Chain A
């Protein structure tokens, strides 16, 4: 079998009921098109019969493969495994619980053909509980958009279409799948957003809860730092260190006025010193990050060259060439 053009990746965790429907839905969506595709299911250490069901499916469908984990690792590692093992030039990731609709895939592929590197789904008509799912998600997406500067309406949507050569170079760990558009934007990747269908869960329980917000907040801080560090290693910490330096400076002014009035200055001068040393600490962390980034094996610069190459091959029309120039200019 030659390498397929398209790889559809879906992580599964205790989805024995959904998996047959999912497989059928993907086939129904892609068989009418003449795309050569493969399906990759990743079993994330399911405790039920998911693996057995998949095994029978693989016997019926040579285009289906199942990557089985040794234990439960989580959704992002499962997607990472799918991406690492996919053979297609274009990758599609989606949820394994039938909440995404594979019939959106051909439409997203067309969008990608317009010259984008990644097309993300937007569940504009989301079928989830309002308070526990939708509102936290809206807040999180606003925050992510504000902090990263990439206004994606629905970062949590798993249904995404990527070019494989870019995705395989991207770091993909922790719960970073949420931030893929933001991370890709560093390398000048062009991101498109399309509305996709969303269904309520048919089988099983939703596997994620409210505690995510705290994690998202921390991840956001991480992403902001990483994005800042990769572009200007020392300036980010330099900027941060301005805050303690200012506090320290204000305290010193206060010391002066206290001394003139003949009051004790021990307390205010210790505070000034604490914040001054904190400022120095933050500055040195900036240099440390520079060192780390230089010694690390991930070079955003290489990613930039990769994306511009991709754009070059796809840029048939005048407008695309223009866009390529602007991307390079960034």
Chain B
């Protein structure tokens, strides 16, 4: 397997978005190990947002290494966009993405190549983990939630070390912070992923707590992805579910108020609960209406939609 892949060209893409303190010094280490992975290796660093010091440092490295490309984006669009920008300059058959900081032991990267087999994407799973319990719990909670919502099981979807066949990135459409969800998005178009255990790097093990804003964004990302993967092309199923539960709540409440009025003779007209349940009713109807507008969007663009991906056509083609 190993020799098979090493004959092919490998492009390494590093999206430089966050935790960039060691990025420059890490290049040498990445290069030492990655040059052994394939006969032909190129390095693509994508710096999102102008970071003056870092850019100068990377430019110096670039000047010394002809196999390195440096792409500078004028604004921070998120990791997914950075990777796509890097990919548009990549020529390899395989793409290896690495974070700008150390997540796994670099000398174990070859495991990805050895074990990818027939899969289209090999995800690194940081295991054994060296970092604190709180970090591990955060990872586990996020991945469990994702599994519950999407029905697909990944143990460490937050790890940025990934080996991907070039054709996957050509086809998959992602933007903003959706990089971590690549396996889910590519499953949508019929590409399969596997997780491979790599030992976590000691440098990755410091305690991480993010600002509440980051957690909120993660949560919204999660919802977006669920919407895009599960209810893609059926917006009414999504909005209808929330809308009809809101309507059911309101109907139960309204019936209860009517019951009180008719049987117990408690007047309705001075009860704030009536306003609350009317609001629920209206909210539910509005959500369903929005779902219908979504369906109209899908319908009017349905000529462009292809729900399926063909592996191959067997038999007479002419």
Q: Which of B269, B274, B307, B315 has the most CB of A within 10 A?
A: B315
Number of interface residues of B (CB under 8 A): 50
Contact-size category for A: 35 or more
* Inter-chain contact B314/A173, CB cutoff 8 Å: no
* Inter-chain contact B313/A275, CB cutoff 8 Å: no
Interface hit among A68-76, A91-99, A107-115, A156-164: A68-76
* Inter-chain contact B282/A278, CB cutoff 8 Å: yes
Q: Give min CB distance, B286 to chain A, whole Å.
A: 6
* Inter-chain contact B299/A64, CB cutoff 8 Å: no
Q: Which of chain B's residues 296-318 have a Cβ closer than 8 Å to chain A?
A: 296-318
Q: Which of A54, A219, A225, A278 contacts B285 (CB 8 A)?
A: A278
Interface hit among B6-14, B52-60, B202-210, B287-295: B287-295
At the interface, yes or no: B2 with Cβ under 8 Å from chain A? no
A85→B303 CA distance, assembly (Å): 15
At the interface, yes or no: A246 with Cβ under 8 Å from chain B? no
Residue interface mask A67-89, B partner, CB < 8 A = 1: 11111011011101100010000
- Report A-chain residues with C-beta under 8 Å of the C-beta of B271: 267
Q: Which of B300, B307, B315 contacts A80 (CB 8 A)?
A: B307
At the interface, yes or no: A127 with Cβ under 8 Å from chain B? no
Q: Give min CB distance, B271 to chain A, whole Å.
A: 7
Interface of A with B (CB < 8 Å)? Answer: 1, 51, 54-55, 58, 62-71, 73-74, 76-78, 80-81, 85, 171-174, 215, 218-219, 221-222, 225-226, 229, 237, 240, 244, 254, 258, 263-264, 267-268, 270-271, 274-275, 278, 281-282, 285, 288-289, 292-293, 295-298
30 contacts between A and B (CB under 8 A): A1-B316, A58-B314, A66-B313, A66-B314, A70-B309, A70-B311, A73-B307, A73-B309, A74-B307, A173-B233, A173-B298, A173-B302, A218-B236, A218-B237, A221-B288, A221-B292, A225-B295, A226-B295, A237-B289, A264-B269, A267-B269, A267-B272, A271-B275, A289-B296, A296-B300, A296-B301, A297-B300, A297-B303, A297-B304, A298-B300
Given A226-B295, A267-B271, A278-B286, 17 additional A-B pairs, CB 8 A: A54-B314, A62-B315, A63-B316, A65-B315, A68-B310, A69-B311, A76-B307, A80-B306, A173-B298, A222-B236, A225-B292, A285-B290, A292-B293, A292-B296, A295-B300, A296-B300, A297-B300
